Structure 1
């Protein structure tokens, strides 16, 4: 099913219908033959604070024929970058999205800084701090530890960590390679997006465009879902303004869902293949109500109290277990699958096939292990 009626007469969409729509847009029903850059752009970025596996494994789940070098080359040639964006977390995004999304998300970053470090920054001239930090990181990429220490040299009464985070908020700081490269890695050293990309930020980007991009990759969705994904607030007015060009539905709780008229909304009974979804994948992090793909009973088993989001096993479109790759490249040794309940033989075989695909991607060799269900 694609498209639907305009106005608030699209009917009710249950969790299964919402899940199939999400999986279709995430290319987790059928893998795509597109380029990594195009996929990253479509998804609005891949969460990437845990270097380097999640973005690579996220693309592997979605793209036929994807290899590590395909993404590594994009990072090294500055076509994609790692920068704090949605929810204040590190995302891997295209250079163009770095320049357009970063200004839009500034209010959220400001709020996070006030909430977390406000008392330690009281009375500080943040404009002067940002100017000094810019000069430092553009002269040579710096880790936050080094940057904080250098900023504190002229401010000995201030917390260096708070100074570094103030710079992170006020400046569009990208992490430079080899940080985040498959099989290599390095310290999280930063410079400004303008210096790294040779272009200024785009001041013309709009929240309307942000909302439409979100619906294309994550809809149908409520205003609360959109806000959960990006970290901004008061976006209901944006969707209401866009509503004449959208189609709307209700979920089973009566909440208003917005969507693009021609976006895919498959039949709820469309088969969903077993997939191994990457750790920290935005599939699980981009809705206020995640139950379209993540049963609430399983949420604590893949989202730990210390903020870790495990790799997830999708069976029939729902999270049914977790998984982990140990090592990459020459160090790849195993993929461990941990089902939450006993898997049917066909689903277990499909999970093994997906795990073997991960091992082949990671450099070959190694073994697939299944832990006891439960």
Structure 2
């Protein structure tokens, strides 16, 4: 069975609500995409605003920090995501647990082999004590920043010392690594940042905010099957390489997870692909959408040529493979955009598109921003040029 690029793009429009003009809640958008990219705080809300005609920033805040229907997690590819709360056991066992093992092994090795201040004589005992003290400090405080936790738990201010004269080799505290490890293990959770919705100064809370008895346990192999199923429902048909890249699994885990699913082989322009046997692959034509930097849709596949021409990549990606803000028309990238000044949305089109629709969508986004300035964590050439006024 052959699935053409055009069919995939129309399917993308329907499943990912890219220019489809749908009235969706933040949770509904999140479920459609499996997980929202959350490395860049502003991106979390912008992904929802781009896809829903009814969602607001207040609705996003309520979903994440009031009713706790959405939760921010360290998961696939050691990347921050926001997921539906009910999906957490699958993500924790299917992705986060493996990330946590890698992070723990790396931290123990660094603490054992690198010079620290103060010196640590027994790394396992020291780390166990620090983790218990962080749990206790958070239980007492309710929520706290990393700086506040390092005051309550002085061992978090233990520092790795420079071993070279390189400018980047500086004294650095273990605070971030320990807290990131605990979050990957499902013991603590990133919650509402101090400041505005674009702030990177998040706080931490005990996992009991969401699950009083802890995240429900699930077999890791079973969780990988269910994570692969969810991804294929949203991103299939696709290649095995796409799935392996998105999850961060090794080839063996990817192959075993797919083997447990009822899939069929399809022929894609990029080569052999798979999709769930009972997939509904009827797509729809779509309008215009302005997706933010690190959006879950363009970051959902390893091979993006079927919706993003190679000649656009140098403008829209940074050197590490992070995508910037993109303009979409009918399931295809046709340009880029940025926020300059006090919330002014500007764009550049690479090819013919309905410029009036793009301008209208930019105006709609400006209304949501209400003067907020948005600077992506990983600026791309076009985004930077537009934001600084050299790309208009």
Question: What TM-score do you get using the length of structure 1 for normalisation?
Answer: 0.80
Counterpart pick for 1:334 among 344, 360, 378: 344
Change (3 A) 1:67 1:164: closer
Structure 2 counterpart of 1:321, from 332, 335, 342: 335
1:138 aligns with 2:136: no
Output the CA distance in 1 between the equivalents of 2:230 and 2:266: 18
- 2: distance between equivalents of 1:265 and 1:285? 22
- What is the rounded CA distance, in whole Å, between the counterparts of 2:73 and 2:157 in structure 1? 27
CA apart distance, 1:360: 2.0
Name which of 290, 297, 313 aligns with 2:311: 297
Contact residue 47 and residue 54 of structure 1 kept, 8 A: yes
- Inter-partner Cα distance in structure 2 for 1:365 and 1:187: 16
CA spacing shift, 1:207–1:186, aligned 2, 3 Å: closer
**What is the SS of the residue equivalent to 1:56?**
helix
| 1:282 is the counterpart of 2:293 | no
RMSD: 3.2
Looking at structure 1, the residues matched to 105 and 240 of structure 2 have their Cα atoms a distance apart, in angstroms, of: 23
Post-superposition offset of 1:361: 2.1
Does residue 354 of the first structure (1) align with residue 361 of the second (2)?
A: yes
Distance 1:160 1:299, change over 3 A: same
127 and 249 in structure 1: CA distance in 2 versus 1, 3 angstrom threshold: farther
2:135 alignment partner, SS class: helix
Preserved contact between residue 313 and residue 322 of structure 1 (Cα < 8 Å): yes
8 Å CA contact 1:133, 1:167 repeated in 2: no
Aligned to 1:200: 214
Q: 1:249 offset after TM fit, Å?
A: 0.7
2:197 maps to 182
Question: Does 2:240 align with 1:223?
Answer: yes
CA apart distance, 1:149: 6.8
3-state secondary structure, aligned to 2:271: coil
2:27–2:84 CA contact under 8 A, matched in 1: yes
- After TM superposition, the score normalised by the length of structure 2 is 0.77
Contact 2:145 2:204 in 1 (8 A): yes
Structure 2 CA distance for partners of 1:308 and 1:154, relative to 1, 3 Å: closer
The CA deviation at 1:277 is 1.0
- Asked if 1:235 corresponds to 2:254, the answer is yes
Counterpart of 2:260 in 1: which secondary structure? Answer: helix
Task: Say if 1:106 and 1:262 are closer, same or farther in 2 by CA, change over 3 A.
Answer: closer
Unmatched 5+ stretches in structure 2: 113-121, 161-172, 374-385
In 2, the alpha carbon distance for the partners of 1:181 and 1:62 equals 22
What is the CA–CA distance in structure 1 between the aligned matches of 2:59 and 2:47, rounded to whole Å?
A: 13
C-alpha contact (below 8 Å) 2:104/2:181 kept by paired residues:
no
Superposition deviation, residue 87 in structure 1: 2.2
Which runs of no fewer than 5 residues in structure 1 stay unpaired? 1-10
Give the distance between the partners of 2:58 and 2:309, measured in 1 at CA. 35
* 1:1-374 alignment runs, 5 A limit: 11-51=1-41, 53-77=42-66, 78-110=68-100, 112-113=102-103, 117=107, 119-122=109-112, 124-125=123-124, 126-140=127-141, 141-147=143-149, 153=155, 156=158, 159-161=173-175, 162-178=177-193, 182=197, 185=199, 187-204=201-218, 206-233=223-250, 234-243=253-262, 246-266=263-283, 271-305=285-319, 308-326=322-340, 332-339=342-349, 341=350, 343-344=351-352, 347-363=354-370
Equivalent pair of 2:73/2:183 in contact (CA under 8 Å):
no
Q: Distance in 2 between matches of 1:104 and 1:295?
A: 32
Q: Aligned with 2:138: secondary structure?
A: helix
> What is the SS of the residue equivalent to 1:142?
coil
Q: What CA distance in whole angstroms lies between the structure 1 residues aligned with 2:148 and 2:261?
A: 45
